[in-house]
Amino acid sequence: MGGVKRFLQSEVGAAVLWVVGTLAMAALITPWVYLAGKHLAAAAEARHLPAMLNWLGAVCGRSKFPRFFDRCLLVSALVLLPLLLRRVTRVHLVAGAGWMGFGAPVAWNRAVFQVVIGCVISGGMLWAMGSILEMAGAYMPRSHVHALGSLLPKILIPAAAASLLEEWLFRGLLLGLWLRFSKTAAACIGTSVLFAFLHFLKPPDGGLPADPTHFLAGFDLLGKILLHFTNPLFFVTDFAMLLAAGLILAWARVRTGALWFSIGLHAGWIMAFNGFNLYHHSVPDHFLRPWGVGDNLRVGVLPMVTLALTAVVCHFAMRRFEGGVSPASR
């Protein structure tokens, strides 16, 4: 019991409690948020509301329960983050605090250069793989071509927002925290497991709650999500992919000493992923499915091979940006 108490009082224990608390809070509030969202959607259809509420009502109207859970998960993580930061504050004040946040100071032109290079490498290689799979018949162009105006809300804004927020949280705050009391490899693996786990919390097909408005519907969905991890196909083709991506991002953070190259890699993956999905759809009966490729470019063994090749290219590219030294190795 003493060991458990010491663990819970440690920074690692604080991070684990933050994750557990985030999951529990999201499961608790999702049914209420779902109900409120559907009421807003009905009100937006019945009468004229301000433009922002009309837009939000339309989004809520076409969103299903898992999407509400995803958004509640993000809100819960941010709401509970100050509790984690209270534990982090003590670590932040000791030597090596530069590992927290965005890392060592970098001139703005070098930061922009790192972001652009990372974006080109990751996005270019992922799109190239998609193009090869399209030539192999695994993906086909969509009959409906989206207008260029859809690129901003569907590709650029999500790429910028997610890469900045998630890199600051996972590779800036959590990895910086973990490096204060753990070896570099353990810190990178631990934060990458958290990144993959929280990033891929989705239910299996047909796993939606029977009554989304029931006060335990969120916990019902959470239980089905956790059981999904026992599926070998899901673990190998989905979870492992995000774990590998998290390891590359953490490795880039350690080698460069700052977040900018990681932000570029992350943004490039999101732009290529969303952009390719916007203009292509998968071929369900292709011979490469389900292990080789899946419904999108982040599922399957071939995307994992592309990630490995991306890591090789990053190894040589980061020689220009290296500056990270693990606190644990001092």
Domain ranges of the chain: 1-93, 97-202+228-329
pLDDT in tens, 35-84: 999 999 888 887 777 878 887 888 888 888 888 988 898 888 888 877 77
Bridge partners, residue 18, by sequence: none
Assess contact for 249 and 163: CB atoms under 8 A: no
Average pLDDT, the chain: 82
Structure tokens given for 309 = 């090749």
Q: How many CA atoms lie within 13 A of 207 on its CB side?
A: 17
pLDDT in tens, 179-236: 877 788 888 988 898 888 877 776 666 667 888 989 999 999 888 888 777 777 777 7
For residue 128, what pLDDT band results from cuts at 50, 70 and 90?
Answer: very high
What is d(CA 58, CA 44) in angstroms, rounded to the nearest whole number?
Answer: 7
Neighbours of 226 (CB within 10 A): 13
Q: If DSSP codes are grouped into helix, strand and coil, which group holds residue 136? A: coil
Output phi, psi for 47, to 5 deg. -150, 165
